[in-house]
Structure 1
Amino acid sequence: EPKFIIMEYKNGPAKQKPLCLVGKGLTFDCGGISIKPSAGMEEMKFDMCGSAAVIGAMRAIANLGLKVNAIALIPSTENMPGPAANKPGDIRKARNGKSIEINNTDAEGRLILADALCYASEQKPGMILDAATLTGAMVIALGNIHTGFYTRDNNLRKKIETAATSSGELVWPMPLVDDHSKDMKGYYADVTNLAPSRGAGSATAAAFLEYFVDKDIPWAHFDVAGTAWHAGNRLAYAPKKGASGCMVRTFVEIAKTYK
């Protein structure tokens, strides 16, 4: 049964806009009707690692007693075929009123993140950071070494790089430009959940998410598809197999200096 999880931590100044963390919580993703190959599908239990990172960061923020106001939002479900499943060609309406054309049901994480980002924007936060095991394209681009992130805000980019350096996590800024946004324009709807070309698949996914964020709010998207699990050989504190906990430390470092 799908759930929308909201976590709140209030320990900062009353007038401080909250730091908002959003995590993709797909508890299992077989691709839906656009089903994945069976080989490797057992690893799709890790498709909730973005949400786990957000929950872990919130727990650490609370345990450290940081003087900050923070909100975590986690859309959680699984993506399975069935009589009520999304179908290719379906059109859905997001929380902000934008219509979405579903061209592939395996591009589902961005659909649940869309509503979460709309809700996040409604909270009028000072910053939105989202983490998601979103695309195989990111794995091809950066492997399991760096976590790629997207933002158009140069000040936020610098803060992220500084925080990641302090935490010991490796991140890499990726390009997000208007051409990526144009690729996500829909034919029958405002936007499509999958670009017509396979190129720049992680960037176009980020561009899709951007349609659901208030443009006045600093926002960054972390695609942790390559670093969320089985990255223990890169991270001394992580197990050799299983989830790595990537981005927990970076998010906590950002919270430490959040104003």
Structure 2
Amino acid sequence: MRRNGMNAYLAVSSGSRNEPIMSVIKYFGNGVDHEDNGDRVGPIVLVGKGLTFDSGGISIKPSSGMEQMKFDMCGAAAVYGIIRCVAELDLPIHLIGVLACCENMPDGMSYRPGDIVKTMSGKTVEIINTDAEGRLVLCDVLTYVKRFKPELVIDIATLTGSCVVALGDVYTGMMTNDQSLVSSFMNSSERSMDKIWQLPLGDDLKKYIRSDCADISNSNNLSGGGAISAGYFLRSFVEYSWVHLDIAGTAWKNNKSDGATGRPVSLLSQFILDKLGRSPE
């Protein structure tokens, strides 16, 4: 990751004794060509946020409820679950899963508010809030996966509390740079009963990530728009068809006895089945 210039991802993990690990899982179904001959359709790439624990770093979270931050790796867990599902169904598809894992901790080596980091893309980011860490991990991974020449990239992340405020624990927030994908996702959502709701990502959102000393900032001091500003931040790093799923409200239940929900494994497994024209048996 350091050789690739993934400095934003590495900055998040800089305060932890546990090294960051980015796991890449490649699935080739029967009949899928393993060789890139230049004319076949690229893979669907799934990127999962895997913060194994998120203290907030220097911008530390309130102690109340912090124990639930072990669930901040639910995006990566969902990616693994979807690939397991696809493999067990032996589906004829090319799928790549990236589990973007690290830990966000406060330490003398931690990245700080006011720091500027250079991402893998070359864009610089002003750090306003070290608890807006998921987008820093994901932005480097979204740049990294360009090498796979993807047909579609879907990132899954427990990204923002603002999405919970907007959609509660019922709907996963969906944002995309490709409106042609929306109807397919909505249909798969209805069939799987794994509910999503589209949020906007227009260019008028630039003000939410404006910086005076870097290309963009990782947060803002505005009173609202936290979910869509995070989505717009990620959009700044994609050059392909892309869907962002914010599962902050739907990945787990606050009740200790309930735990993780497994969403959106059902949604994306159904999306892949629908894409292949299959029905689950």
Q: Which residue of 2 aligns with 1:168?
A: 193
Q: 2:53 aligns with which of 28, 42, 63?
A: 28
* Matching residue's letter, 2:218: N
1:57-80 per-residue CA deviation (whole Å, 9 max, x = no partner) reads 011011111110000112111100
Shift of 1:109: 0.6
Q: 2:260 aligns with which of 243, 256, 259?
A: 243
1:7 counterpart = 2:22: no
Equivalent residues, number: 251
Cα contact 2:177–2:235 (8 A) shared by 1: no
1:255 counterpart = 2:272: yes
Distance 1:198 1:49 in 2: 27
Q: Secondary structure at the match of 2:120?
A: coil
Q: Which residue of 2 aligns with 1:78?
A: 103
RMSD of Structure 2 on Structure 1 (CA) = 1.5
Distance 2:214 2:196 in 1: 34
Shift of 1:254: 1.8
Q: Which residue of 2 aligns with 1:192?
A: 217
Shift of 1:258: 3.5
Deviates more, 1:157-166 or 1:10-19: 10-19
Q: 1:181 aligns with which of 197, 206, 215?
A: 206
Distance 1:207 1:35 in 2: 24
Shift of 1:163: 1.2
Cα contact 2:135–2:233 (8 A) shared by 1: yes
Distance 1:124 1:175 in 2: 26
**TM value normalised by structure 2:** 0.86
Distance 2:92 2:272 in 1: 9
Cα contact 2:26–2:96 (8 A) shared by 1: yes
Please tell me whether Structure 1 or Structure 2 has the larger radius of gyration of its CA atoms.
2
1:136-187 per-residue CA deviation (whole Å, 9 max, x = no partner) reads 0011001101111101322111111111111111111111111213421322
In the alignment, structure 2 segments of 5+ residues that lack a partner are 1-18, 34-39, 277-281
Distance 2:207 2:172 in 1: 25
Shift of the 231–255 alpha-carbon distance from structure 1 to 2, 3 Å rule, reads: farther
In the alignment, structure 1 segments of 5+ residues that lack a partner are 233-238
Write out the 4+ residue segments of structure 1 that deviate beyond 3 Å after TM superposition: none
Q: Which residue of 2 aligns with 1:116?
A: 141
Q: Which residue of 1 aligns with 2:62?
A: 37
1:97-116 per-residue CA deviation (whole Å, 9 max, x = no partner) reads 11111111000011000111
Shift of 1:231: 7.5
Distance 1:197 1:7 in 2: 38
* Matching residue's letter, 1:23: G
- Identical columns (%): 45
Q: Which residue of 1 aligns with 2:79?
A: 54
Q: Which residue of 1 aligns with 2:5?
A: none
Q: Secondary structure at the match of 1:107?
A: coil
